[in-house]
A and B are shown apart, each in its own frame.
Chain A
């Protein structure tokens, strides 16, 4: 718990992440980036099909390649001194300061606090009848899980198989699947939190939701 609290404090102290834009390969660099301090955007669109703001053009063997901003943020520094010069792969071209959103902060905190149990294969998942009744009547946080417990029924076409929970003992903090919908293999089914830390995590999330200031 202490660790999560420290993490939140660290994020509050520097509520952003520095994104370094590097040359993907050798070539002659020509900067096309906007002025330092202006906002740049990363790939956007429903399928991330729209490229981000152009930062530079890297030319190798007469092949111009646009280097776009990988993340939305504020352009902190552009190594303009390299303009027109030949650079090696990995050379830093620009730095972007990406301010963390509320969702990103919560997601990072939960990633540290929760133990995720993932779907072993693409299928529909249900809680076992006893667990399901408990979840429906008192919510998922009323269920304590332990290693080896029969927790899910995996249903694929006409085949139904029990799935046993593996991981640390704790309560189900969040459920990531919906009734009668397929879950891809590797996607999280539940997030488990040790019982003594639940109150702390809930408090932390509440604090982020109320106190975190969005910068972008």
Chain B
């Protein structure tokens, strides 16, 4: 017994040493000395009362942990959540739930042992009666140092498994509890692909009609979002939730080359600047409540913590259920009561009626759409906004009348008359045929005869450009070499030809050179039809991240844009559509709160006007990491907007150009059923160097190319830039959604 308790103290000491990584050395040294003396005296047999001495030592450790906890830095919290002694999902399943059965795999015998799914029960009482409530538990499992768990870094098929069982829970009408224990998703493109699968998960969760409660311990970017679009988001007090790992942020901030490692100081400074602690996220409104942990973080022996977590998770589920039940006044009373009750001693049914399920989805969607509105500079004058609101409401109303009432009935009448008329014509022709039959004499116009019987003529005229917009690079007097010249034997191309007439396409091999976003904007849509809106919404620096304000100012000066997202109304062969464009030349096309707001409003406008919605991705490097969780929350938020639009009958099309990576592809872009790529595109979750650094696997050249993405089933087609207009028109003509004006 003494040895066991003493060993426990040794483990606690190692844990403290690990999480402070050299800090508080004196205090740790003092604890170490006390423990060593105890072991020495125990071995010598010089202690009168070893149990009393051990109790004194335990008190000493508890006091030291309390003192040290007050001085935790964000980086210390990162080390806490990654420590092998940290609680993991299996600890929670064993201690928070009354019973559970793991499904979808056992230990390492699983499609992905990093993601575990369990059917669990919680037993509650009302008086003497017991109720077993069923739950689907989904979460990443880090294990206590088990290598096969991959540190909770889930592979695409692990997320696919999670999505499958979310569907099972929905069928069975039982709540879902998700636990986020991941440093980030495993960035590989093998089918179903890291980005595309996270997008599918987000899309599924945006419309999941059962209560979902999420608990964050380690919330690393896209990997976390894959299971975190929920009704209630709880966060453990010593956890973190961030757009990127501090190491990843340090690599970007320090502009490190592959193979170089960031200094611990730089990593710690990034952890501080990213504002990723539970308090930060509660203040931003991205989590609903913090679950307090014991000093220096919860470990498997903290049974009180599991009791607290059980109470909180039951309360969060109850609150979610109550908030969508009928009888509003009773709801308020119930919610107030829930705040102070012992949740085990009361019972609330967790299944929902059909109307409750609808309300739940709508409530969740609205909650996410409201987030992060204050994290950008909305400079639209109030009067303009009011005017715009009135105009949009009127357009929405007229579209509803036009396309749902008038068009539908008009279509039915028109169908009836067309069919009757064609039948009558056929009947008339058959009856009159013996009387009207005449020998047919071929008649040709003289011009046609001349064209067929004489040699063709040179039509003369000046050489005209096919394109309305021509790249400024076409003014340079220089030759350009195709990167495929060595393998395909391409000849050098003269820049005015390449960037002018050839639209940036090698005439020999078809290699697509990247072009400016203006090329697509001006050459694909009808001339003069582009009308921008919400141009006043400006990207800012909500976390005061050092250097971002200056970088944004520089980007504004260079591009003349206020953010990387440009939203406009345009038409193509007279088909009107709403376009949200991510511009790669503005901070790499990164998405922050301003871009998210513009994207959401564009999707909403497209829904109101019953227009097709096109996301043209000139380029995006991902979420703007300097905005922290203000950025990463755009993933679920914009996906919700996309889901609402598609469910309203909209046609959502995504076209990739140049490089598109990370968060946006793993959410609102990847959730489109119609994704196409210009041949110049590279599409993926993480770039080659990040994959190499994270997984240790080198990726071959062209791993992210458009054709590879097509072969993996991530996109539906690859387009030649010169045919983008006709291809897009063809798509609009053939893939129009119901109730939508697209012709």
Contact A60 B492 (CB under 8 A): yes
Chain A contacts with B in 33-67, Cβ cutoff 8 A: 45-47, 49, 60-63, 65
Contact B479 A63 (CB under 8 A): yes
Q: Is the interface of B mostly helix, strand, loop or mixed?
A: loop
Q: How far is the CA of A62 from the CA of B496 in the complex (A)?
A: 13
Contact A62 B477 (CB under 8 A): yes
Contacts of A61 in B (CB 8 A): 477-479, 492, 494
Contact B701 A63 (CB under 8 A): no
How far, in Å, is B609 (CB) from chain A's closest CB? 47
Q: How far is the CA of A61 from the CA of B481 in the complex (A)?
A: 11
Q: Indicate which residue in A47, A60, A62 contacts B701 across the interface (CB closer than 8 Å).
A: A47
Contacts of A47 in B (CB 8 A): 700-701
Contact B698 A62 (CB under 8 A): no
Contact A46 B700 (CB under 8 A): yes
Q: How far is the CA of A46 from the CA of B698 in the complex (A)?
A: 9
* Interface flag for B480 (CB, 8 Å): yes
Q: How far is the CA of A182 from the CA of B476 in the complex (A)?
A: 50
Contact A65 B481 (CB under 8 A): yes
Contact A49 B479 (CB under 8 A): no
Give the residue name and chain of the B residue nearest to A49 (CB): B701
Contacts of A62 in B (CB 8 A): 476-479
How far, in Å, is A21 (CB) from chain B's closest CB? 14
Contacts of A49 in B (CB 8 A): 700-701
Count chain B residues whose beta carbon lies closer than 8 angstroms to a beta carbon of A: 11
How far, in Å, is B293 (CB) from chain A's closest CB? 45
Give the residue name and chain of the A residue nearest to B700 (CB): A47
Q: How far is the CA of A207 from the CA of B709 in the complex (A)?
A: 50
Q: How far is the CA of A49 from the CA of B701 in the complex (A)?
A: 7
Contacts of B478 in A (CB 8 A): 61-63
Q: How far is the CA of A49 from the CA of B479 in the complex (A)?
A: 24
Count chain A residues whose beta carbon lies closer than 8 angstroms to a beta carbon of B: 9
Q: How far is the CA of A61 from the CA of B479 in the complex (A)?
A: 5
How far, in Å, is B692 (CB) from chain A's closest CB? 11
Q: How far is the CA of A45 from the CA of B477 in the complex (A)?
A: 35
Q: Is the interface of A mostly helix, strand, loop or mixed?
A: loop
Chain A contacts with B in 61-99, Cβ cutoff 8 A: 61-63, 65
Please, what's the 1-or-0 string for B493-532, where 1 marks a CB less than 8 Å from any CB in chain A? 0100000000000000000000000000000000000000
Contacts of A60 in B (CB 8 A): 479, 492
Give the residue name and chain of the B residue nearest to A25 (CB): B492
Q: How far is the CA of A1 from the CA of B480 in the complex (A)?
A: 52
How far, in Å, is A28 (CB) from chain B's closest CB? 13
Give the residue name and chain of the A residue nearest to B486 (CB): A24
Q: How far is the CA of A63 from the CA of B485 in the complex (A)?
A: 14
Contacts of B700 in A (CB 8 A): 46-47, 49
How far, in Å, is B258 (CB) from chain A's closest CB? 11
How far, in Å, is B484 (CB) from chain A's closest CB? 14
Q: How far is the CA of A60 from the CA of B700 in the complex (A)?
A: 31
Q: How far is the CA of A168 from the CA of B374 in the complex (A)?
A: 82
Q: How far is the CA of A40 from the CA of B492 in the complex (A)?
A: 27
Q: How far is the CA of A46 from the CA of B494 in the complex (A)?
A: 33
How far, in Å, is B516 (CB) from chain A's closest CB? 20
Chain B contacts with A in 668-711, Cβ cutoff 8 A: 698, 700-701
How far, in Å, is A57 (CB) from chain B's closest CB? 12
Q: How far is the CA of A46 from the CA of B480 in the complex (A)?
A: 28
Q: How far is the CA of A47 from the CA of B480 in the complex (A)?
A: 25
Contact A63 B480 (CB under 8 A): yes
Contact B492 A63 (CB under 8 A): yes
Contacts of B480 in A (CB 8 A): 63
Contacts of B481 in A (CB 8 A): 63, 65
Give the residue name and chain of the B residue nearest to A63 (CB): B479
Contacts of A45 in B (CB 8 A): 698
Chain B contacts with A in 692-735, Cβ cutoff 8 A: 698, 700-701
Contacts of B476 in A (CB 8 A): 62
How far, in Å, is A39 (CB) from chain B's closest CB? 21
Q: How far is the CA of A147 from the CA of B479 in the complex (A)?
A: 55
Contacts of A65 in B (CB 8 A): 481
Q: How far is the CA of A63 from the CA of B477 in the complex (A)?
A: 10
Chain B contacts with A in 279-302, Cβ cutoff 8 A: none
Give the residue name and chain of the A residue nearest to B491 (CB): A25
Q: How far is the CA of A60 from the CA of B402 in the complex (A)?
A: 61
Contacts of B701 in A (CB 8 A): 47, 49
How far, in Å, is B185 (CB) from chain A's closest CB? 25
Give the residue name and chain of the A residue nearest to B493 (CB): A63
Contacts of B477 in A (CB 8 A): 61-62
Please, what's the 1-or-0 string for B48-69, where 1 marks a CB less than 8 Å from any CB in chain A? 0000000000000000000000
Q: How far is the CA of A198 from the CA of B478 in the complex (A)?
A: 60
Q: How far is the CA of A63 from the CA of B698 in the complex (A)?
A: 32
Q: How far is the CA of A45 from the CA of B478 in the complex (A)?
A: 32
Q: How far is the CA of A63 from the CA of B479 in the complex (A)?
A: 5
How far, in Å, is A51 (CB) from chain B's closest CB? 10
Contacts of A46 in B (CB 8 A): 698, 700
Q: How far is the CA of A62 from the CA of B701 in the complex (A)?
A: 28
Contacts of A63 in B (CB 8 A): 478-481, 492
How far, in Å, is B699 (CB) from chain A's closest CB? 10
Q: How far is the CA of A145 from the CA of B477 in the complex (A)?
A: 64
Find the residue from B476, B479, B698 having the highest chain A CB count within 10 A.
B479
Chain B contacts with A in 452-486, Cβ cutoff 8 A: 476-481
Chain B contacts with A in 377-392, Cβ cutoff 8 A: none
How far, in Å, is A108 (CB) from chain B's closest CB? 25
Contacts of B698 in A (CB 8 A): 45-46
Contacts of B494 in A (CB 8 A): 61
Q: How far is the CA of A65 from the CA of B491 in the complex (A)?
A: 13
Q: How far is the CA of A45 from the CA of B698 in the complex (A)?
A: 10
How far, in Å, is A101 (CB) from chain B's closest CB? 23
Give me 17 other A-B pairs in contact (C-beta within 8 A), A49-B700, A61-B477, A62-B476 excluded. Answer: A45-B698, A46-B698, A46-B700, A47-B700, A47-B701, A49-B701, A60-B492, A61-B478, A61-B479, A61-B492, A62-B478, A63-B478, A63-B479, A63-B480, A63-B481, A63-B492, A65-B481
Show the binding face of A for B, using Cβ within 8 Å. 45-47, 49, 60-63, 65
A-B contacts, 14 listed (Cβ < 8 Å): A46-B700, A49-B701, A60-B479, A61-B477, A61-B479, A61-B492, A61-B494, A62-B476, A62-B477, A62-B478, A62-B479, A63-B479, A63-B480, A63-B492
What are the nearest 8 A-B pairs in CB distance?
Answer: A62-B478, A61-B479, A63-B479, A49-B701, A47-B700, A63-B478, A47-B701, A61-B478
